[in-house]
Amino acid sequence: MVKGPERQHNAQQFKQMHKDHLHKGRGAVSNDSGRFEPLQRAIFRDGWADGRNLDAEAERLRTHVTDEFPKSVLTRNQSPDVPFDRSVNPYRGCEHGCVYCFARPTHAYMGLSPGLDFESKLFAKPDAAAILETELSKKNYKVAPIALGTNTDPYQPIERERKITRSILKVLMAHDHPVTILTKSRLVVRDLDLLAPMARKGLVKVALSVTTIDRTLARRLEPRAAMPQRRLDAIRLLSDAGVPTGVMFAPVIPALNDHEMEHVLAAAAHAGAESAGYILLRLPLEVAGLFEEWLEEHYADRKSRVLNRLAALRGGRLNDPRFKHRMKGKGLEADLMKQRFGNLCRRLHLNQNPVELQTELFRPPAGNQLGFDFDASAA
């Protein structure tokens, strides 16, 4: 019979070995149930096995993709914190596995965990381009730039095969509709044959999110996203092709990557970035617990410092969801960060000539007159 202390030791041992095997190449270190679930899942070893096959008992975490077919793909917002009022997200969940991703809590609406489920159980919208074309053809549609990459990355790894983002760009290009793109992937340069002609008409601008130049930190923070140098390479290639390109230093994490602001912006400017922005780390709902677990796992020595400084920037809380506060924080340190960023941009000649995308060229579709079949394999 397994005694209490021995049972507890076995449970801890199993959980650690399960984690070591299961989480390699993933961002979150747990997979707790979402906030809407009546039952909470937890890993527990009951003592029946002898402990010699612990690693074999942990099933390797693989990515699963489910197709979904929504009636609409345009998402509207009225937030004063973002420069767009509509967006399209080709995918739910994101295999990049960024532990800080503010979109993680949305997986709870699917009955899944914002933890490992978010980065391994993905949803794709194969008909997104056809649905978008239908929405653009409505008589009451008023043109304004559509944002790609606002919730999950439109160029995450499954886009390489699915090509849903590419099919969306083909629709927007065919109708001269303006679009903005935010990504962490070098895969965006695959679509230069679409982006370059659109740029010549003033219809597109792209931003690469570069969180750090430190490869070790990048691999821990964003395990399946492109390495920082590859993102900088993408900035260079896009810029050389005439596509207005910027950099997002986001999120800024106090005591972890905030000291890299100068390095990141300078490297991006050298690569050809024309604009820049930053966002302070946001920890809504389940993301707070996931980020604390991640700190304990990778940076336990500075966990308290990171959280305390973040709270100081958030008025004593780890997260402030209020409009006009959630992106930049408040207080003396937040004001100094804003001033520091502004000085950097002036010195590096960033944000000198903001690009305004053209809207008057838009030609509404008249049914599926273009003959697109929107087959992802053909896109």
DSSP characters for 57-111? Answer: HSPPP--EEEE---S--EEE---TTSS-SEEE-SEES-TT--TT-TTGGGGGGGT
Question: What is the structure's pLDDT at 7?
Answer: 45
Q: Is the peptide bond before 251 cis (omega within 30 degrees of 0)?
A: yes
Question: What is the structure's pLDDT at 367?
Answer: 57
Confidence of residue 45 (pLDDT cuts 50, 70, 90): low
Closest listed residue to residue 217, CA positions, set 183, 253, 246? 253
Query: Which tokens hold the place of 258?
Result: 């905030």
Dist CA 288 CA 286 (whole Å): 5
Q: List residues bridging with 88 in a β-sheet.
A: 74, 148
- Per residue in 56-87, pLDDT (tens digit) is 444 578 999 999 999 999 999 988 888 889 99
Question: What is the structure's pLDDT at 58?
Answer: 47
In single-letter form, the type of residue at position 265 comes to: L
Dist CA 269 CA 245 (whole Å): 10
14 pLDDT more than 80: no
Dist CA 239 CA 274 (whole Å): 9
368 pLDDT more than 70: no
Question: What is the structure's pLDDT at 374?
Answer: 44
User: Residue 318: which region, alpha, beta or left (left: phi > 0; alpha: psi -120 to 50)?
Assistant: alpha
Question: What is the structure's pLDDT at 80?
Answer: 84
249 pLDDT more than 60: yes
Query: Which tokens hold the place of 206?
Result: 């792209």
**Ordered domains of the chain (ranges, CATH):** 64-348 (3.80.30.30)
Give just the sign of the alpha carbon dihedral 329, 335, 340, 346.
Answer: positive
- Per residue in 147-192, pLDDT (tens digit) is 998 889 999 999 999 999 999 999 999 999 999 999 999 999 999 9
- Per residue in 21-38, pLDDT (tens digit) is 457 789 999 998 888 888
The mean pLDDT value for 94-112 works out to 96
Dist CA 356 CA 56 (whole Å): 56
Give every CB contact of residue 254 below 8 A, 6+ residues apart in sequence.
281, 305, 306, 309, 310, 313, 333
Query: Which tokens hold the place of 79?
Result: 């937030």
* pTM: predicted TM-score of the whole model, two decimal places: 0.88
344 pLDDT more than 80: yes
Dist CA 277 CA 341 (whole Å): 8
Q: List residues bridging with 87 in a β-sheet.
A: 75, 147
The mean pLDDT value for 5-26 works out to 54
- Per residue in 357-367, pLDDT (tens digit) is 999 999 999 85
